[in-house]
Amino acid sequence: MKNFEVWHADPPDFYAERPINEFPTGYVKVADVTAVCQNGVFDSTQHNDRPWTARSNVRPCRDQVRSTSVGDVVVEGPIAHRCESVGWTSHRITR
């Protein structure tokens, strides 16, 4: 299991038009998640049978959150993975 940060585009960017190389500008951190990979993070941050903020592998950073979607970013160490309509786009970040 790995530790990830979940950042939602603010405002939402459901067409993934915001340049990933400008991250974290235009994003807000919504959670820390433990998962195997970014696909597991995506699955863990979906409102399915219950709010995703109630899952044991999720530590929310905000009270009101939506499901992770296209245009949102999952950070693993120095790599930001942006959710696309199919798959992920990755970009090395510096902090």
pLDDT digits (tens, 9 = 90+) for 49-79: 889 999 999 999 998 899 999 999 999 999 9
pLDDT for 30: 98
Residue 95: pLDDT band (50, 70, 90) is confident
Q: What is the pLDDT of residue 87?
A: 95
Q: Which residue range forms the structural domain that includes residue 32?
A: 2-92
**30, 59 contact by CB (below 8 A):** no
Q: Which pair of structure tokens corresponds to residue 84?
A: 């696309």
* DSSP H helical ranges for the chain: 38-44
When pLDDT is averaged across residues 69-93 and rounded to a whole number, the result is: 96
* Owner of token pair 């120095």: 78
Q: What is the pLDDT of residues 29-55, one digit of tens each?
A: 999 999 999 999 999 999 988 899 999
Q: What is the pLDDT of residues 17-31, one digit of tens each?
A: 998 888 999 999 999
How many structural domains comprise the chain?
A: 1
Structure pTM?
0.94
